[in-house]
Structure 1
């Protein structure tokens, strides 16, 4: 069944202005204009982000929706896909953000607008732990693009989290997947969006 609703979740300190989010959005609008596309600005609080996501997709058809997430957004995408039973595309997904973001407590700047600041609170670590999901219930619903050249996350940990999933393991690249244009076709092939 073709995907009619697509959610994109950005990473930590990122926004809907990220290159990957914009590329995916542009392609959806150009080639799949009938598909519902949503790429929200996620709040710093993981529990608030989860509530926003749940609210936003509450009336989406579970069998025809998909989620794409980058970095911390990949962690959220996994949580949502396990809840909703939908397809998920993960781009260098964060595996243990409660551990990895513990060093970022305090004031942070937004990646795409350094004038925009937010405070990453200590209690957010517990909120991240609460969203951690167990082993994948249906690994075939997942497609991960993972870069060995990721300077922030360990590719071995990322691949180890998604046994049985379709994995596109890149020899180089980086955390931002600067070469994303080379992989966007594979992402869209997996998503099987409804044709225009």
Structure 2
């Protein structure tokens, strides 16, 4: 199964989630793709995903984008899983308190608060990566996160850095076959 974890302010309606779901369906693997709506509360999001992983009953590959990359890394270490990280948030290297305040979901418009307690929850989830578990995908043109932070945090992991692009990771469609192969599907 592939468990896709979307980013902050995002949802299962994100561009990458939809493309991966469509490609999995095209290959007859629709039942092996899951992308739930993550709670804006980090501790709740990880408790929900932990229950989902524990109930899966088989091998799970995590795919996380932006904040979802941080979550995927946390869960990969907790459960010994492999993960693809796409322009991930290296929480130990960024000031997550700058996100404290009111936000809206890009797709639903739903409003939510991100608090100092939530920032502390994110920092508490940071775990040193086991390099052989990861495939790190970065674009140097990411306007939201400095790709150098992710390169440094996930140093030693399989990495692919592309010139240009942006935070959405523009090269995602061309890497779908390799991503599915990485998941062993």
The TM-score with structure 1 as length reference comes to: 0.88
- State the match for 1:43 in structure 2: 39
- State the match for 1:181 in structure 2: 173
- State the match for 1:72 in structure 2: 67
- State the match for 1:108 in structure 2: 103
Shift of 1:107: 1.1
The TM-score with structure 2 as length reference comes to: 0.92
Match of residue 167, structure 1, among 135, 159, 169: 159
- State the match for 1:190 in structure 2: 182
Task: Mark the runs of 5 or more structure 1 residues left unpaired by the alignment.
Answer: none
Residue aligned with 2:20, SS: helix
Task: Mark the runs of 5 or more structure 2 residues left unpaired by the alignment.
Answer: none
Residue aligned with 2:54, SS: coil
Match of residue 125, structure 2, among 124, 131, 139: 131
Q: CA deviation digits over 1:23-74, x for unaligned, max 9?
A: 1111112214275221110011100001000011113346x21100000000
Equivalenced residue count is 185
Instruction: Label 1:171 to 1:58 Cα distance change in 2 as closer, same or farther (>3 A).
Output: same
Instruction: Label 1:91 to 1:162 Cα distance change in 2 as closer, same or farther (>3 A).
Output: same
Instruction: Label 1:68 to 1:99 Cα distance change in 2 as closer, same or farther (>3 A).
Output: same
Is the contact made by 2:21 and 2:30 (CA closer than 8 Å) also made in structure 1?
A: no
- State the match for 1:93 in structure 2: 88
Which runs of 4 or more aligned residues in structure 1 lie more than 4 Å from their structure 2 counterparts after TM superposition?
A: none
What is the aligned-residue RMSD (CA, Å)? 1.7
More helix by share: 2
Q: CA deviation digits over 1:153-185, x for unaligned, max 9?
A: 111111112222211110111001133212223
Tell me the distance in 1 between the aligned counterparts of 2:95 and 2:174: 28
